[in-house]
A and B are shown apart, each in its own frame.
Chain A
Amino acid sequence: MALLELREVTKDFGGLRVVDHLDLHVNEGEIVSVIGPNGAGKTTVFNLITGIFHPDSGEIRFEDQKISGLPPHSITNRGVARTFQTLRLFLNMTVMENVMAAAYGHTKGTMVESMLQLPRARREERRIRALAEEKLAFFGQRLAGYRYDQPAYSLSYANRRRLEIARAMATDARLLLLDEPAAGMNPNETHEVTELIARLRDDADYTILVIEHDMHVVEGISDRVVALDHGLKIAEGSFNEVATHPLVIEAYLGMRAAEEAV
């Protein structure tokens, strides 16, 4: 059964059609990659799924319930969490607080309860901290121990990307949307991201939808690849099918290259 389903989703910015009658589904336990040249509408699709934009027509369903039209925090509470292409950490908060802040949606302690330090608030606080430590432990020593209380801005670029993933995990999501997780990383780190995404699925049971430009990563992780261009789905299938698809080659390399390839 499809965990996430986009039906005929369309989005216009003024006169510009950014996403055009897009059908997309992600099955439980699958890793699906979205590729496409810059401006193809990939990030807009993520923004539509997470509720930052609302589709002009069409419908987005998660766990067989309509989520399009809901505010972003409710969509996250339903189980869809994301990372950002341009990192959006809470830079002046500590590593630990960044992850703990993402647990807001599935905690209940009210302001009055925490003011008076009532039992439920304290219990919950302990639980959130344990949860955050567990999520951070997923990344080994990079975000462990002495890192907890350092501000996020002191982290290196690669560690910031890891922290964003940890933060998304702490929302208790089932589906992770990763927006270019390997952007700006060196080959060694890129390889590690590939492994990490596989572990996220295999060890932590997440379903993953990922936007990625690095074809090594896409090839390494994807069960299925979807190619977009000008908001249209131009190809879908296994990595090899999509990578050799003439429309995909045309979108990336131009008309002549596509003709030569055929």
Chain B
Amino acid sequence: MSPVPEDLTGPGLPEPPVPPDEPDGPRVGTDEWVAEHEQRRETGKGLTGVIARVWNRIPPPGRLLVLLGPFAIFPFVTSEGNLFRYGLITIIYALLATGLNVVVGFAGLLDLGYVAFFGFGAYLYGIMASGHSGHHLQAELAVPIVVASTALLGLLLGLTSWRLLGDYLAIVTLFFLQAFVIFVNNANGGLNDFSYPFVGKVDLTGGANGLDQIDPLNWFGLKITTTRGYYLYTLIALALVMTMLYFVNQSRTGRAWRALREDPLAAEAMSTPVNRLKLLAFMFGAGVAGFTGTIFGAVQSGAFPGDYDVGLLITIYAIVILGGLGSIGGVVIGALIVNGAPELLRSSANARFLFYGVLVLAVLVAMRPWYRALIVLAGTVVFGLAVHAIVAATWSRGTDGHIEGGGALGRALEHWVLLPANPQRIAGWAYFALICAALVLTVVRGWWRVVVLIPTLYLASFVWENKLVEQVSGATRLILLGALLVVIMNVRPAGIFGTARVEVV
């Protein structure tokens, strides 16, 4: 800090004029350093800084268009199968994550039972409209009932948050999710099932076989039957929910949620009924999840217990965290990455592009200053060519292999990476060496890191081409997804759209 005292406007001095909204020059007597520091923080450096600045200049409706516009074009340029796998599932995830974001990101309540509301929505819709139950309610009746009931269930679960916070709330809500899964697995009116008051034993959920023959959504006689129809329906719903959430976030309710996340005691002392707002967050999240459940149930024309388990919960949490806790737009990008990346990686050509892309990106982002990154990349290329030339001259079997269906990138790589005719054993050892080299990398500093990094990168591509690429639809896909997430979270620790939160200063 500067040695000049912060306040030159002592009690005896006249009050200086109020500064205009935009600071246009240095002013003594204001926290100029802090003010500028803040500006530096907001804009940031490098590529991410530029993107953040451009993004912040776009007005909110424009941001929604940028995020969801590409989704609106997607159904007209792709097949039904791809639309389902990439498109529909992604926006269903995004919608689910939006609801979870309110509970976790806005109100700061660690709710691990969230997926149960999603399942509850699907099952309840199935009970009201399916061949299994024999009732066929129209969507305009069934959907509001589902949303209201799920919100009510959210309220009941939310009651636990009056006295429990953090880890304790997480455990109780997780228990709720497990209880839900066990319930739907058993509520088939079988021997072990309850006998309900008045009605006796009823087959509610179909047990482990699931509740089948759920009706398509039927709004005022208009049946949604195609994937494209569901896709557009969900997309519109997502746009609406995001818009409404944006307005809520700007309102007294949104402020109160964020205040209670920051400091519940201070929020309570500043006239916010904290307990009521926690319930409201739970209800909002649960309502969105229940609504999404009706879509998912109708799309699958069934509800199955395995779909609403911890695996999905982790996926949705990954989306929210990756997108940035408390960021409305982030969940869309998060869903795109978490759902899209593993699907894309099923083909080895795509996986290859992503693999090298992640490597280059990681080097560019992690190496400072920038010329070091260029040295590493250029060095790796030269190193590879040299190794390839030497091996080709001395041990011809070492370059005999081929890359199948790799396109231009594959043909180029054949002249660079070693492809032994029978790579199994040597690739196994190389994998082991790669892990050792990566560990060494975490220890060395400065130019040594550059020196070690070049052969490590080459080794990584060697292992990739000779070992990992074969199992691309299995384990490799998940390893690669994990690596991608690690890189992203390293570049943007608070999520792609998140702002870093300051805990104590």
Q: How many whole Å from A92's CB to the nearest CB in chain B?
A: 5
One digit per residue, 1 when the CB lies within 8 angstroms of any chain B CB and 0 when it does not, for chain A 137-161 equals 0001110111100110111101100
Q: A71-B273, A103-B252, A107-B252 are in contact. Are A141 and B34 (CB under 8 A)?
A: no
**In the assembled complex, A1 has its CB within 8 A of some CB on chain B:** no
**In the assembled complex, A100 has its CB within 8 A of some CB on chain B:** yes
Residue of B10, B11, B268, B501 touching A71 (CB-CB under 8 A): B268
Contact A104 B272 (CB under 8 A): yes
**In the assembled complex, B7 has its CB within 8 A of some CB on chain A:** yes
Q: Which chain A residues border B19 with CB–CB below 8 Å?
A: 141, 144-146
A144-187 residues at the B interface, CB under 8 angstroms: 144-147, 150-151, 153-156, 158-159, 167-168, 171, 186
Contact B280 A156 (CB under 8 A): no
The CA of A140 and the CA of B7, in the complex, are separated in Å by 12
The CA of A100 and the CA of B307, in the complex, are separated in Å by 42
Contact A82 B269 (CB under 8 A): yes
Residue of B30, B252, B503 touching A109 (CB-CB under 8 A): B252
Contact B255 A104 (CB under 8 A): yes
**In the assembled complex, A17 has its CB within 8 A of some CB on chain B:** no
Q: How many whole Å from A121's CB to the nearest CB in chain B?
A: 6
Q: Which chain B residues border A116 with CB–CB below 8 Å?
A: 244, 247
A196-254 residues at the B interface, CB under 8 angstroms: none
The CA of A106 and the CA of B273, in the complex, are separated in Å by 12
Interface residue total, chain A, C-beta cutoff 8 A:
60
Contact A186 B267 (CB under 8 A): no
Q: Closest chain B residue to A103 by CB distance?
A: B252
Q: Which chain A residues border B254 with CB–CB below 8 Å?
A: 114
Q: Which chain B residues border A117 with CB–CB below 8 Å?
A: 247
Q: Which chain A residues border B256 with CB–CB below 8 Å?
A: 101, 104
Q: A171-B270, A171-B271 are in contact. Are A151 and B502 (CB under 8 A)?
A: yes
Residue of B15, B34, B265, B503 touching A156 (CB-CB under 8 A): B34
Q: Closest chain B residue to A84 by CB distance?
A: B266
Contact A115 B247 (CB under 8 A): yes
Q: Closest chain B residue to A146 by CB distance?
A: B23
**In the assembled complex, B505 has its CB within 8 A of some CB on chain A:** yes
Q: How many whole Å from B472's CB to the nearest CB in chain A?
A: 41
What are 25 A-to-B residue pairs whose CB atoms are below 8 Å? A72-B269, A73-B269, A84-B266, A89-B262, A90-B266, A93-B255, A104-B252, A105-B271, A105-B272, A107-B252, A111-B248, A114-B248, A114-B252, A141-B15, A141-B19, A144-B19, A146-B20, A153-B502, A154-B38, A156-B34, A158-B6, A158-B7, A159-B31, A188-B5, A192-B11
- Please report A residues at the B interface, Cβ cutoff 8 Å: 50, 52, 71-73, 76-77, 81-82, 84, 88-93, 97, 100-107, 109-111, 114-117, 121, 124-125, 128, 140-142, 144-147, 150-151, 153-156, 158-159, 167-168, 171, 186, 188-189, 191-192, 195
Add 17 more A-B contacts to A90-B259, A105-B270 (CB < 8 A).
Answer: A71-B273, A82-B269, A90-B262, A90-B266, A92-B262, A100-B252, A105-B272, A106-B271, A111-B251, A140-B9, A140-B15, A141-B17, A150-B38, A156-B34, A171-B270, A188-B7, A191-B10
